[in-house]
Structure 1
Amino acid sequence: MNVFADTWFFNKGWQPHRFQQDTWAAIADGRSGLLNAPTGYGKTFAVWFGVLQRYYRMERRKKGLHCLWITPLKALSAEILQATRRVSEDLELDYRIGLRTGDTDINERQRQRKAPPQALITTPESVHLLLASKGYRDYFSELEFVVVDEWHELVGSKRGVLVELALSRLRTICPALRVWGISATIGNLEEAMDILLGAEAEGVLVQADLKKDIRMETLLPEALEKFPWAGHLGTKMINQVLPIIYAHQSTLLFTNTRSQAEIWYHQLLAAAPDLAGAIAIHHGSLSNELRAWVEDALHRGILKAVVCTSSLDLGVDFRPVDCVVQIGSPKGVARFIQRAGRSGHRPGETSKIYFLPTHSLEIMEGAAIRYAVYNGLLEQRLPYVRSFDVLVQYMVSLAVSDGFRADELYAEVKRTHCYASVTREEFDECLLLVTKGGRTLDTYEEFHKVVAENGRYQVTSKRVAMRHRLSIGAIVSDAMMQVKLLGGKHLGTIEEWFISRLQPGDTFWFSGRLLELVRVKDIQAVVRPAAGRKGAVPSWMGGRFPISDNFGIALRHTFAELNERKPPAYPAELLFLQPLFDEQRRISELPAEDELLVEYIRTRYGHHLFVFPFEGKLVHEGMAAVIAYRLSSIRKASFSIASNEYGFELLCDDPIPLEEALRRGLFSTEKLFDDIRNGINIREMARRKFRDIAGIAGLVFQGYPGKPMKTKHLQANSGLFFSVFEDYDPGNLLLRQAYDEVYDFQLEASRMYKAFDRISTHRIVLQRPANLTPFAFPVFAESFRERYSNEDWQARLEKLKAQLEA
């Protein structure tokens, strides 16, 4: 029984769910754990009322900080603050709740230090800033709870490593600390709980026995393209979307990239000017002010539609929308479920989502996602391990505040999942890096950040301490520029590389309006509203993400449905695609689920090898490089490579020795990692990755607020360190980490290995069609676009497509 929850729920006229009652009971028993429940069912209250009950059952109520609530988003922090304060006000409790993020002003931070609230809602970076403050042990000495919200979002990132390290220190200060995570469903929930609670802790996994009902419909175009190509962005189907917007009180339109969001917002307004004022745009590069306005307008129910990106994926608590439209491939099963859950965001309500494919082959993904949701093919989140850059930063953070002793710190970090395999020698190498700059930078005074006095490691330089506090965190991105109107209003941020391509007078789309660049000053792009309809559309480097491995499984399963069922029993999407599949069968072959289709075609452009593993663009890029290397080892040749989510193309001027390559094991896993190293420019990829690692580790100072260092300087400085370490310290931990991260996260080497391993058990279906096939044409279009980037390549492509259809 939880008297606070019972009273509050009774006053609201609600009945608690079983998972909420189970969570309250587990917290009352002093347990730690992980809570998993669908979006919109009250996960926050399931943990919050448990925290309140423990506090008011204490014989002597503590005056210090009692609960630390960590969230990945500042916007989410504000929503949690509102929800929890509402409980305190409704029940007239003296339990005070504070908020600390990067936006909290310095006066409020000082008040929180002198008179801590009972609960503090914050972000991983702000927790580390507190650990870098003098006297943090006293500040956290009475802490009983740490709650980590949206843990599934953090566990597969270096921000999750920040949380692991913070928890390791807080457990040392407060041995009786209780830790709770709140997570959406992912494929490795048990592992996620173990990472959060630590290897030695036993926790309870509370899972809601509630299945969210999702009603999904794929929007089908009026006409089927038998030879589709990516690039339309779905805007040709705007007339099918408008009736959906008009038929519902509120609609979220999710796009995969910020540039696609800008285009859709502009096109919707052009097609339906009467929506002006009732439609908005929301993505991560817009200013906090603009995003807050959109969220508030959604909450008050005054917007008909919002075009958005993953910036509205997480549990930001606005009024539930009536329906969701997913524009383009959702790329992942969990992401699709999360977005669908933004509609019907109340217990018992059905989530309504429309899937809008942007080209014909994407229609197949409608059937695939339905199969994946029904069978629970949820992706795992791959946790980071051995992130030495974050460990080095953490060492300096502790040294900036009260210092640390090496033996104690090593014992602490060894208990985390990320650093469980770190040896004492490796730990000591990190110590050497923060005290002497490692083995190669010892002659440079600026890298002697930490000094050891009587066995305690501390930072004594005020300059080092200040610069370090400005650099705390593990979020890395391309250098950003502020976009400001000539009158001074801040509109948001845009990547420096995009603005550097423009001249004053050029126009571009941003925040849903056409802007003219007036001038660039420091890190500001000064703009004014422009007339007309044409302008460049920004593309952000962060918008490129591949389909997940489970989504690939679901896509390949559609071929089983095509081969096992008769057309009337097909899912609607596959029935609609029947003419395309018939054309593919006529010219080439439609593969089975356990077959790999390979097409070898000769055109006036050269010799084309098309391979269709259906593993996602990033895996295909790596696979293509390996296959090209293996082919060129048989006969010297140069290849151009193109790929999409379904397959890849190798194009060569000369005939390709395909039969001999297949006899030698073209798709074999034997010596695969050697061939990856030889066939892909891993060094250049590692050099780029090292820039982020160097920034997190503090080797490269990224600048002061309002005056960040330019991208080219960051790249030059980190590149210099990379070369020095390669030449004089090849075993350097940060250098090794750069290569490991390229293999694990950029090349997805383990997933690439699984793909080759799977293919080695499949039958290779080799076809030699006379012309490009419906499967091959979209991949060909990718390389065609690059060859004719300065011409009207779309017209050329349409002409070629017309010839194929004829």
Structure 2
Amino acid sequence: MNRQELFDIAHGWFDSKGWIPFPFQIQTWNAFLQGKHGLLNAPTGSGKTYALWIPIMLDYIKKNPNYKKKHTPGLKAIWITPLRALSIEIKQAAERAANDLETGLTVGIRTGDTSTAERSRQKTKMPDLLITTPESLQLMLASKGYDKIFKDCTTMVIDEWHELLGTKRGVQTELGLSRLKAIAPKMRIWGISATIGNLNQALEVLLGPESDTFENSILIKAHINKKIKVISIIPEKMDTYPWRGHMGLHLIDEVAKIIKASRTTLVFTNVRAQCEIWFQALLEKYPEFAGDMAMHHGSISRETRQWVEQAIRDEQLKAVICTSSLDLGVDFAPVETVIQIGGPKGVARFLQRAGRSGHRPGQESVIYFLATHAMELIEASALKKAVKETVVEDRVPYLNSWDVLVQYLVTLAVSDGFYPDTIYKEIKNTFCYQAMTEDNWAWVLNFITKGSQSLEAYDEYKKVEIEEDGRFVVNSKTVALRHRMQMGTIVGDAVMNVKFLGGGYIGSIEEWFVSKLHPGDVFIFAGRKLELYRTKNMEVLVRKASPSAKAQHASWMGGRMTLSAQMSELVRQELYAANTDVMSPELRALLPVFKRQRKESIVPDADEFLIETFKTREGYHTIFYPFEGRFVHEALASLMAYRISLLMPITFSLAYNDYGFELLSDQYVDIQQVLDNNLFIPQYLHHDLQNSLNATEMARRKFRDISVIAGLVFTGYPGKVVKTKHLQSGSQLIFEVFRDYEPDNLLLQQAYRETFEHQLEEGRLILALERIQSHKIRWMPCEKPTPFSFPIITDRLREKLSSETLAERIKKMTANYMK
């Protein structure tokens, strides 16, 4: 069958559905059938799934001209998705095409949700097309005779590649691909990516920089002008002194109005606690939403989440309050409107969420932006511009993740074993390990067989044995079992399952939150008031609490997001525009805030850097405004405090948000003297950060995750999970041993490197300092706090006060400052 005949089949199927294929779909079919590898960049809801399922099926038809009568069994294509929630939809799309084209191809799913019975069936008879996750692929590589399963596989598709890139799951995928390329050399590798800035690098990471695959590859961009309409919800009355505490709930009536006017609305919050609070608040104020509104976040039980997803498709729900758990690919045609509560902190995330509405080619997406406090309107204005100019973040890939490599090698040793020379060549061809030296490789092999030089005395770290023929294998059944149970690179806080006393699983919450509760305490979770009965074996047993009981909301760690580098740049540009006549409606709404700010201080220009100082009853405040995002400010605050303390004996308490940071002290700081001593020089940054931040403590926390991934500590068997504090103390002990006796240990070095590169964003810090240095420093001694400083001050108060007391205190402060 020639290409034209194959294309006729595809076009015929599209016609039968009343569709017309996009140019990018045809281009992808063409490239695929020519045997190319590639990366397809297309917006959400543009038909990218069929851009690859169709040519996979056409390729099968071409190789089996008698396909309607005789089916050739065996695994032909693997589709990797980062989210289990997407697998059902991808399966439905594949089955629709496979059945209509009468190919006889079977489609299966293998994720953490797949039943044991289904997995056993797959062992004896693999589906033709398999949808799986990076973790499940690694588990398949840990089974005996895996090469027989994969040897005839013709295609590997990695969906939502932008979500995996820049994470250790992405590294895990790179390693899996390096093995499969060797087993099935004719296999085509394709990635699908939506919003991402560094597309060429994304392709290079996917295929490996040196490989032949990279030579024979193509980057396809879908030139679809996706219309996105961004509408800011602007409050009628603007707080002159903005603060972040009310979660945007003062605009609840506006949100209810939008929900009532739309067929289906997704309301995105940034964190799970905010999701719970908004759901509860809407239900209390608008009881008529009961039954028409649901909640969706990662800690709610799978059954509930799947029910919610289906109910959206069936148009049974008017509104869903959700977190990033609904960010990706789930195809909801009925969603008419999206509301984003609070700044999403990144352009890519915002575009992804906007794309949930009008999820059909050619349809307009509508997203409302609700600022939780006045300053976030600057973010709203910046996002509008970003959407217009499609400015999107880069994803920075990981390099030399030794913990993931250690886990991968033990995986291979658990299955059929491996020969080091063969595997070394494969791994050297990946992006992550391209700079690995033979010494590094020797260290890693030594680590899995002897447990590194400082742990050689302990047998539990000697996991892999070397056979006479030089093959590395795991012979111990206990080691193999423990390894299979702990595979994966997502390391979070220990989670505990929440169950009703009479049975019935509700979801999971983090151990640290439960540890603060006593039996009889009431908390709100998954939209219900629950009373804690007791905790047992990592299970939280609860019963329904009385509706009138006083309750606290469940909360999660890692709740605070930070502005991305691109978003910070956009926010600064918008802020500088406040000094011009060209202002967006959002900036115009902020005029009362800017007016007050100018009365007390200034609104900085593009070539100015603002520092404000004032005295209150709390002490002497010094506030810096880099507008670089929370994490960068956290590091900068410590750095500035350290550098100032070198000039004078002084102690500070620190506070920061996305716009700036504060140093608070009980003694006066002479800013001019400090500025004369090169406060902002990028030189010595690494040294000063190490001294100022207690980098060892941060690296120690980072090392816990690394030691779990590398299998140095065991997280426990099902139902008998090791408590976080025990994991922490176990990994801390190993950290101390490595630090004192083996400072060149690769895992120890990785803990420090990840702390500086990923947590403290050292590269961004250097750029921020260079930018500040080139600007004119405007030091403004103020009489009282300014509108810009107010969110930072109130953020610090929040740590000490309950929300009611905080609101009262802020009211008094505002009245006082307005005098």
TM band (smaller chain): over 0.9
Equivalent residue for 1:37? 42
1:68 partner letter: I
The answer to whether structure 1 residue 658 and structure 2 residue 668 are counterparts is no
CA distance in 1, matches of 2:457, 2:804: 54
SS at match of 1:778: helix
Deviations 1:2-57 (A, max 9, x none): 23421221100110001000000000100000011111110000011011111111
Equivalent residue for 2:703? 690
Equivalent residue for 2:782? 769
Deviations 1:244-300 (A, max 9, x none): 000001000000000000000000001110110000000000000000010010010
CA contact (8 A) 2:331 2:359 kept: no
C-alpha deviation, 1:522, in angstroms: 1.3
The answer to whether structure 1 residue 57 and structure 2 residue 71 are counterparts is no
SS at match of 1:514: strand
CA contact (8 A) 1:320 1:342 kept: no
- Residue 174 (structure 1) aligned to one of 184, 188, 191: 184
Equivalent residue for 2:86? 76
CA contact (8 A) 2:61 2:103 kept: no
Equivalent residue for 2:323? 309
2:310 partner letter: D
1:6 partner letter: H
Equivalent residue for 1:799? 812
Deviations 1:444-480 (A, max 9, x none): 1111110011210000111111111111111110000
Identity %: 50
Q: How does 1:398-797 map to 2 (within 5 A)?
A: 398-453=412-467, 454-531=469-546, 532=548, 534-565=550-581, 569-788=582-801, 792-797=805-810
Q: How does 1:45-194 map to 2 (within 5 A)?
A: 45-58=50-63, 63-194=73-204
CA distance in 1, matches of 2:272, 2:52: 34
CA contact (8 A) 1:557 1:593 kept: yes
Equivalent residue for 1:207? 221
CA distance in 1, matches of 2:606, 2:223: 33
Equivalent residue for 1:357? 371
Instruction: Extract unaligned runs of 5+ from structure 2.
Output: 66-70
CA distance in 2, matches of 1:305, 1:428: 56
2:759 partner letter: Q
SS at match of 1:654: coil
CA distance in 2, matches of 1:262, 1:217: 24
C-alpha deviation, 1:330, in angstroms: 1.1
2:48 partner letter: K
C-alpha deviation, 1:319, in angstroms: 2.9
- The CA RMSD over aligned residues, in Å, is 1.3
CA contact (8 A) 1:617 1:643 kept: yes
CA contact (8 A) 1:320 1:346 kept: no
Q: How does 1:334-345 map to 2 (within 5 A)?
A: 334-345=348-359
SS at match of 1:281: strand
CA contact (8 A) 1:216 1:353 kept: yes
CA distance in 1, matches of 2:99, 2:333: 21
CA distance in 2, matches of 1:706, 1:193: 41
C-alpha deviation, 1:657, in angstroms: 3.0
CA distance in 1, matches of 2:269, 2:530: 22
CA distance in 2, matches of 1:198, 1:683: 34
CA contact (8 A) 1:38 1:211 kept: no
1:355 partner letter: F
* Deviating more after overlay: 284-293 vs 364-373: 364-373
- Residue 380 (structure 1) aligned to one of 376, 394, 398: 394
C-alpha deviation, 1:98, in angstroms: 1.1
CA distance in 1, matches of 2:331, 2:502: 33
The answer to whether structure 1 residue 371 and structure 2 residue 382 are counterparts is no
C-alpha deviation, 1:760, in angstroms: 1.1
CA contact (8 A) 2:195 2:351 kept: no
SS at match of 2:552: coil
CA contact (8 A) 2:245 2:803 kept: no
2:104 partner letter: D
SS at match of 1:755: helix
1:710 partner letter: K
Equivalent residue for 2:68? none
CA distance in 2, matches of 1:694, 1:798: 48
CA distance in 1, matches of 2:231, 2:392: 20
* Deviating more after overlay: 472-481 vs 193-202: 193-202
CA distance in 1, matches of 2:249, 2:64: 63
CA contact (8 A) 1:634 1:657 kept: no
1:342 partner letter: R
C-alpha deviation, 1:501, in angstroms: 0.4
SS at match of 2:799: helix
1:297 partner letter: A
2:490 partner letter: I
CA contact (8 A) 1:635 1:657 kept: no
CA contact (8 A) 2:263 2:334 kept: no
CA distance in 1, matches of 2:646, 2:476: 56
CA contact (8 A) 1:523 1:707 kept: yes
CA distance in 1, matches of 2:476, 2:310: 44
CA contact (8 A) 2:108 2:131 kept: yes
C-alpha deviation, 1:788, in angstroms: 4.5
CA distance in 2, matches of 1:424, 1:409: 12
CA distance in 2, matches of 1:433, 1:127: 24
- Residue 405 (structure 2) aligned to one of 385, 388, 391: 391
CA contact (8 A) 2:333 2:357 kept: no
C-alpha deviation, 1:92, in angstroms: 2.4
Deviations 1:142-172 (A, max 9, x none): 0110000000000111000110000000111
C-alpha deviation, 1:787, in angstroms: 4.5
* Deviating more after overlay: 598-607 vs 609-618: 598-607
Q: How does 1:173-252 map to 2 (within 5 A)?
A: 173-199=183-209, 200=211, 201-202=214-215, 203-252=217-266
Deviations 1:571-626 (A, max 9, x none): 11111110110110111001012211100112221111100111111110100100
SS at match of 1:670: coil
CA distance in 1, matches of 2:437, 2:334: 49
Deviations 1:680-721 (A, max 9, x none): 111001101100000000000111122211111101100110
C-alpha deviation, 1:110, in angstroms: 2.2
C-alpha deviation, 1:486, in angstroms: 1.9
SS at match of 1:771: coil
CA distance in 2, matches of 1:646, 1:756: 15
C-alpha deviation, 1:418, in angstroms: 0.6
Equivalent residue for 1:17? 22
| TM-score (norm: length of structure 2) | 0.97
CA distance in 2, matches of 1:62, 1:196: 29
SS at match of 1:563: coil
Equivalent residue for 1:326? 340
User: How many pairs are equivalent?
Assistant: 803
Q: How does 1:228-307 map to 2 (within 5 A)?
A: 228-307=242-321
2:340 partner letter: Q
Structure 1 residues 631, 769: CA separation in 2 closer, same or farther (over 3 Å shift)? same
C-alpha deviation, 1:543, in angstroms: 2.3
